[in-house]
Amino acid sequence: MKEKLIELIICDICGVKAARVVKRPQVLGRGKLMKLVENVPVIACKSCGESYMTSATMNTLDKIRINQKEKNSARKISVEEFV
């Protein structure tokens, strides 16, 4: 089986070439305005353990949050509360 090569990039926080882009879900808003955005690109560093988003990603999330009624698909999800 071939191993998938993961392109490492330089972390903006620690400066070590140990970061990579991963796709994660992101929750926007609260209550009835809460929205789950899937496959958001996040930069995660194995060296310092930090995760962060680029300004382009954050701008796109802002546009999604502002235009909440456009391209909205409703799905039922299970919600658990941490107690």
pLDDT digits (tens, 9 = 90+) for 59-83: 999 998 888 765 666 778 787 777 7
pLDDT band at 32 (very low <50, low <70, confident <90, very high): confident
Residue 49's alpha-carbon distances to 16, 52, 60, 71, in angstroms, are: 11, 10, 24, 34
Q: What distance in Å separates the CA atoms of residue 79 and residue 65, rounded to the nearest whole number?
A: 21
High-pLDDT (> 70) share of the chain, %: 90
Task: Over range 11-37, report the average pLDDT.
Answer: 91
> Domain 9-66, what fold?
Ubiquitin-like (UB roll) (3.10.20)
For 9, the 3-state DSSP assignment is strand
Radius of gyration of the chain (CA): 16
Angle at 59 between CA 27 and CA 76, to 5 degrees: 25
